[in-house]
Amino acid sequence: MIIGRNQALASALALMAALPASPATADTAGDCALLTRASGEYSSLSSKLSGLRKAAEDQEDDAVALAATQRKAVELARKIGGKLHDLQVQLENPLLKYAFETDERSFEDYADTLEGAINGGDIAATNIHITRVYSRNVDATEAANDAYHEQCK
């Protein structure tokens, strides 16, 4: 038996209508409310981390102050990663969950890599690896923000 294009399309549409909504189309109202409540604190912490990075750039001639600032950046990146973990485990929408889990890991990677650079004597964290990890962190944060805006518009 040969099924015509219209019959195949009608069958596929009927099947799609009969199946439950995929996780990607799950109701995101609860997730959006949770993320909106957390956004102020997350923004504040991210701003502080940016300030520490700027301060580190200005302290390159003072190794003691630079090391202290870089260690504060490590602690703050870990704190942000921890808060992102606490947030993402509560999310239901798989796209948001994945985006914020990736962002969480990027802050953990950044903290680990920066700490490794400091402990390895590269207090200014000038090696290319830390630059790449930081770039991935920025990309992951932008992706999480984009996912939030896309899903919660």
Structural domain containing residue 87: 28-151
- Specify if 54 maps to a domain: yes
List, in order, residues 6 or more apart from 35 with CB less than 8 Å away: 87, 91, 96, 100, 148, 152
- Specify if 68 maps to a domain: yes
- Specify if 5 maps to a domain: no
Distance CA 7, CA 147 (A): 36
- Specify if 8 maps to a domain: no
- Specify if 71 maps to a domain: yes
Tokens of 116: 């490794």
User: What are the backbone dihedrals phi and psi of residue 2, each rounded to the nearest 5 degrees, phi first?
Assistant: -100, 125
pLDDT at site 137: 93
Domain count, the chain: 1
Q: What pLDDT, in 10s, does the model give residues 115-145?
A: 998 888 877 776 678 889 999 999 999 999 9
pLDDT at site 6: 42
pLDDT of residue 3 exceeding 70: no
Q: What pLDDT, in 10s, does the model give residues 13-49?
A: 343 334 344 444 456 899 999 999 999 999 999 999 9
Residue carrying the six token digits 């973990």? 85
- Specify if 138 maps to a domain: yes
- Specify if 89 maps to a domain: yes
DSSP codes of every residue in 58-89: HTTT-HHHHHHHHHHHHHHHHHHHHHHHHHHT
Q: Which pTM was predicted?
A: 0.79
Q: What pLDDT, in 10s, does the model give residues 58-103?
A: 998 898 899 899 999 999 999 999 999 999 999 999 999 999 999 9
Distance CA 47, CA 51 (A): 6
pLDDT at site 36: 93
- Specify if 75 maps to a domain: yes
